[in-house]
Amino acid sequence: MTLIDKVLINNDTSIKPIWIMRQAGRYLPEFREIRTKNPDFIKLCLNEVLSAEITLQPLKRFDLDAAIIFSDILMLPYGLNQKVEFRKGIGPILGNLELDNIIELEESDFVEKVRPVYNLISLIKNNELTKNKSTIGFIGAPWTLLVYMINQRSPKSGLKHNFFEDENFIDKVLKLIEKFLKVHIKNQVESGAQIIQIFDSWAGLLEQKNLSKYIYTPTINLVEYIKSLKVPVICFPKSIKRYKEFCDIVNPSAICIDYEVNPKEILKDIKIPVQGGMDPKILLTSQENVKKEAKKYLDIFKDHPYIFNLGHGILPDTDPKMMDYLVKLVKDY
């Protein structure tokens, strides 16, 4: 049993494993070298050999407790034949959502289109570097995927003014997202993913009255499905504010918290294992700050099942030496 499994399954409080969101990626010079030669991000995600190499890069440098696959939540719309491209300085841009085409899409066609993701997991799982470590697969949550698929780009500057206009259309898209997410999860688990994390990056966009329809109900369905495959599931509903309510209703194996939430409140309110919390910007400051902040989270969750992580993905400007310092700090705690 891996250290992370001991926390997720056995609620072990005597260990504090560590992995970092986006640990395989843009802050590492060896990743940037590959990226320069492979400007098409989707093609890179679908190159199973390079994706496996990228996934393993942080494990070669740091004593982390998990490999999280190098992929993207937008593999789902890509697999559903919606055009997805990443533009420098803008982020993801998606094509028109042709619902009739998705309705007619066979599950086997979807699987074939994203098969390199599953091949990548098999490569990772059978690598010497991941021995005694967890292999983490992931998906985007239904709400976050709905946002990208209908909005056709990041909602940083807001949703389309008519986003919620056609409720019937939204309901159909949500059903299809859920259906194909289950296919995507099943194939990840069968290929060797031992944990699934659900990223709800845009959970903070919704008002309280809409949480049940767009977040709680569809996420519960996926959490129960993942648990039925005998795999733990970590949920990260970023900036949701009501973490306790989310945990009580959705009941994941663990909750990943962002850096805007007070960890002491989380400790008081939440009984399940907790992951994350530290602001990624701390890694851009000094070792003294990193030590103070990391120790704060480790001390607060000293007697609670806890996986050390950040409250969002590691930032591109992070010095790998700072990451090394953080990992050793947590390991020596």
- State the residue range of the domain holding 274: 3-331
Other C-beta atoms closer than 10 Å to the C-beta of 329 total: 17
Give dist(CA 206, CA 215) in Å, integer: 9
Give dist(CA 327, CA 273) in Å, integer: 20
Count the helices and strands in the chain (H runs, E runs): 15, 9
Eight-state DSSP code of residue 214: I
**How high is the pLDDT of residue 314?**
98
Whether the model pTM is above 0.85? yes
Task: Report CA 42 to chain centroid distance, whole Å.
Answer: 17
**How high is the pLDDT of residue 208?**
94
| H/E segment holding residue 237 | strand 233-237
User: Residue type for 87, please?
Assistant: R
**How high is the pLDDT of residue 157?**
83
Tally of domains within the chain = 1
The CATH number assigned to the domain holding 232 equals 3.20.20.210
**How high is the pLDDT of residue 66?**
98
Task: Please provide residue 219's backbone torsions phi and psi, each rounded to the nearest 5 degrees.
Answer: -75, -40
Q: Supply 321's token pair.
A: 């030496």
**How high is the pLDDT of residue 58?**
98
Give dist(CA 220, CA 277) in Å, integer: 23
**How high is the pLDDT of residue 90?**
87
Alpha-helical runs (H) found in the chain:
3-10, 29-37, 41-45, 48-61, 75-79, 99-103, 107-125, 142-151, 167-191, 208-211, 217-228, 243-250, 263-269, 287-300, 320-331
251, exposed or middle or buried, with CB in 10 Å at 0-12, 13-18, 19+? middle
pLDDT in tens, the chain (333 residues): 999 999 999 999 999 999 999 999 999 999 999 999 999 999 999 999 999 999 999 999 999 999 999 999 999 999 999 999 998 888 999 999 999 989 999 999 999 999 999 999 999 999 999 999 999 999 999 999 999 999 999 999 889 989 999 999 999 999 999 999 999 999 999 999 999 999 999 999 999 999 999 999 999 999 999 999 999 999 999 999 899 999 999 999 999 999 999 999 999 999 999 999 999 999 999 999 999 999 999 999 999 999 999 999 999 999 999 999 999 999 999
**How high is the pLDDT of residue 318?**
98
Give dist(CA 200, CA 222) in Å, integer: 13
* Edge-to-edge strands, sheet with 134-140: 66-68, 134-140, 195-200, 233-237, 254-257, 274-276, 306-307
User: Residue type for 255, please?
Assistant: I
